[in-house]
Amino acid sequence: MSDKTVQSRLSGALSGVTSLRPRMTSKTLLEVAMLAMIVILAVVFRVYRVRWGPYMDAYDPSFQLRVTEYVVENGYKAWFTWHDTLSWYPYGREISSNSYPGVPFTAAFLYNLLQTVGVNITVYDVCFYFPVLMGAITCVVIYFLGRDLGGRTVGLLSAFFLAVSQPFIGRTMVGFFDTENIGIFGMVALSLFYLRSINSDDDLKKRITYAVLAGLSIGYIFASWGAARYAVGLLAVFIVASILTQQYERRYLVSLGITMVIGFLVSVYIPTLGMKYLRSTENMLLIMLMAFLALFEVVKLKLDERQAQYLMIGLLVLVAVGVLALEAVGVIAPITGKFWNVINPRGGSDSAIYLSVAEHHRSNWSNYFRSMGLIVPLGIFGTYIALTQMDSKRLFGAVFFMTSMYFAGSMTRLFLILSIPASFMAAFGLKELITPIMNFIVPKVDPRRVRRRGPLQGISRELAVLFSLFIFAAFIPTLMTTAQSSSGPTALASSAFPGRFVDYGYPKDWLQALSWMGDNLPDDAIVASWWDFGYWIEAFANKTTLADGATVRTSHIGKIGRIFMLNYTESMEILESLDVTHVLTYATLNPNNLEEEWPYGLNVKWSWMVRIGGLNMSDYIDPTTYSNKLGQTEVGRQSVFYRLMMNTPDPPFIPVFASDFGFVKVFEVDYDYGDGQT
């Protein structure tokens, strides 16, 4: 065979292989490149703080880390029967009955998968970087959601806005390994797949496939996140809105039925939910709505259009009345607690344990702009345009945006949910704002043609570019705020103290305390601390605590409040009844002048110990001083917490550890302190 023949055949083979590669236009390549840049930007914002050390953020992520380690060591099945004896002494805690498996199971699966393919990585590293992974994936998913809503431009802008959204970054940065990682991803995926499942342009098989994916998405939310109630409510409100705006069609019901059957099947196997979860108000509302819509689809065939409309309105009224009636007689579990506070913020919870959590507080209008900047007004504009150019996708986006705007005002924490619709509705609004301007640009033409045809109406290309630059320049403050918030250390790396000391940096007091307790306290030690710090002590010191962030027994937390805020003789009775061996305090006082307080420790939160402990606040406050400092009255000065904080412990409390700046102190409880005294 000649060389020329061989070369000819090789050339033909290579041409055949080349023809198999996907053909991408320059526009598609540019789109992919821009999306990749957005994802990289999202990752950079979320990993930047690792320069301060690979430490977990906040408190709850430490619990999720501990559960993941337990699942990896003992298997998925063991989680369902795990009675944790390190927490809530002396009762312990049934983990499966009041926590969700989604986050730890996913991280454990990812760890096992990486080990299988030969990637040598620790469980801690997987959990530490897991939020970044989910944040990046969510940005990609919202790109597809935005593209379905308004084209490629809206998709890219949606991904960009979510990538730099401060509320979303705050919950997907390195170390923030918590339920929101999956919850927000699930909300975006549910929105994408459900809207595709009701798309009339697709065939039945494709719509059913998307409905199944939507069901798996909401099932994933059920398995991971307590705020899954919002997802159910969102679908219910969307269906009602589609009926009232005459957008409703039979395929909406079919898709909703498939979605919720799959989601509910998942929920009943989650121990903390179970069958009782189906009886919650929002679920029963949706179930009754689907049942009456199915009845409507059967009956409407015998009715004219006007009669069908009257029947539909009547059924909606019947659903509302039915839910209220069933709730009144106890068949349906009513919405209570923090969920009711979100719906009715004016009702206001008087629970001290609820009010003691800062992110449960109501928002004001400045929070919207401080958190999201120009994204909020653009989202409002996009919602207005969506309602004037309504279709199913835009109606869903408008409902999502308006409901989450309301709920974010009820609870600061829910700005996280608002970040989803705000991103794609702001993207839609920005596109609708700029497109007419760009289309109105005066084309550059020959002046002689202008004289023949008369003057052209429009704006100059330079003015259009200037306007566009002005819009994007308005995002600079938001980007700067986001960059600043993502550059600081995690709560554990800085000991929950935002200040830096010259020649030292951020304080390491909590890291020192946890390390010392893990190395020096006996295995059977029982530590009394305020409930905020329970998760850290359990996860990183491996010591037993009285309470943690699960807040499963408010009365038990009340006892801890009394331990700290009563005098030592009264406190010792409670300590002894709970077998406490050590007491931990966290107060941010100037180590060179204990009279100077810095507002980050329990020295500014002591009033919650009083309230939750059921004590009288007036015993601790001098109304003539207009101060909230502890120690204004004799009762306050004799409290255990004050005396430990001021380094004047009573005889039963033996100091055994103090961190570098004295923020964290550990005291051993001596129950024999009176022996030998006369």
pLDDT of residue 678: 37
Spatial CA neighbour of 130 closest among 70, 57, 77:
57
Alpha carbon distance 324, 332 (integer Å): 9
CB 199 within 8 A of CB 251: no
Alpha carbon distance 483, 416 (integer Å): 17
CB 94 within 8 A of CB 83: yes
Q: Quick one: which H or E segment has residue 52? A: none
pLDDT of residue 306: 78
Phi, psi for 205 (deg, rounded to 5): -60, -45
CB 300 within 8 A of CB 250: no
How many C-beta neighbours within 10 Å does residue 301 have? 7
Alpha carbon distance 412, 363 (integer Å): 5
Angle between the N-to-C axes of helices 392-410 and 180-197, in degrees from 0 to 180, rounded to the nearest 10: 150
Phi, psi for 151 (deg, rounded to 5): 100, 180
CB 256 within 8 A of CB 299: no
Question: Angle 530-535-537 (CA atoms, 0-180°, nearest 5)?
Answer: 80
Burial call 231-243: b when 16+ CB within 10 Å, e when fewer: bbbbbbbbbbbbb
Alpha carbon distance 586, 625 (integer Å): 25
Sign, Cα dihedral of 86, 91, 96, 98:
negative
Distances (CA, A) of 102 to 64, 186, 622: 10, 11, 49
Q: Is 362 left (phi over 0), alpha (psi -120 to 50) or beta?
A: beta
Burial class (CB in 10 A: 0-12, 13-18, 19+), 20: exposed
| Bond from prior residue into 90 cis (ω within 30 degrees of 0) | yes
CB 666 within 8 A of CB 583: yes
End-to-end CA distance of the chain: give it in Å, rounded.
Answer: 114
DSSP-assigned letters across all residues of 346-413:
TT----HHHHTSGGGSPP-HHHHHHHHTTHHHHHHHHHHHHHHT--HHHHHHHHHHHHHHHHHHH-GG
Spatial CA neighbour of 630 closest among 650, 653, 609:
609
Q: Quick one: which H or E segment has residue 662? A: none
Average pLDDT of adjacent 10-residue blocks, the chain of 678 residues: 58 53 78 96 95 94 98 98 97 96 98 96 98 98 97 96 95 96 98 95 92 98 95 95 90 96 97 93 90 85 75 82 81 75 72 80 82 91 94 96 94 93 96 77 52 50 71 79 87 90 86 98 97 97 97 95 97 97 97 91 94 95 83 94 95 96 97 66
Q: Quick one: which H or E segment has residue 617? A: none
Alpha carbon distance 352, 331 (integer Å): 29
Tokens in use for 271?
Answer: 């121990």
Spatial CA neighbour of 490 closest among 177, 192, 246, 274:
177
Alpha carbon distance 347, 331 (integer Å): 24
Q: Tell me if residue 84 falls in helix, strand or coil.
A: strand
Half-sphere exposure of 33 (CA within 13 A, CB side): 7
Whole-prediction pTM value? 0.91
Alpha carbon distance 634, 5 (integer Å): 103
Q: Tell me if residue 669 falls in helix, strand or coil.
A: strand
Phi, psi for 106 (deg, rounded to 5): -65, -45
Contacts of 455 (CB under 8 A, 6+ apart): none
Q: How do 664-669 and 582-586 pair as beta strands?
A: antiparallel
Sign, Cα dihedral of 171, 174, 178, 180:
positive
Q: For each of the domains in the chain, give its residue range(s) and CATH number, in order of start.
A: 26-350 (no CATH), 509-669 (3.40.50.12610)
Q: For 123-203, where are the alpha helices, taking DSSP H only? A: 123-150, 152-163, 166-170, 180-197
Q: How far is CA 98 from the centre of its chain?
A: 18
Burial call 444-461: b when 16+ CB within 10 Å, e when fewer: eeeeeeeeeeeeeeeeee
Spatial CA neighbour of 54 closest among 141, 131, 111, 116:
131
Tokens in use for 15?
Answer: 């041409």
Amino acid identity of residue 360, one-letter, is: H
Contacts of 138 (CB under 8 A, 6+ apart): 162, 168, 172, 184, 185, 188
Tokens in use for 18?
Answer: 């080349």
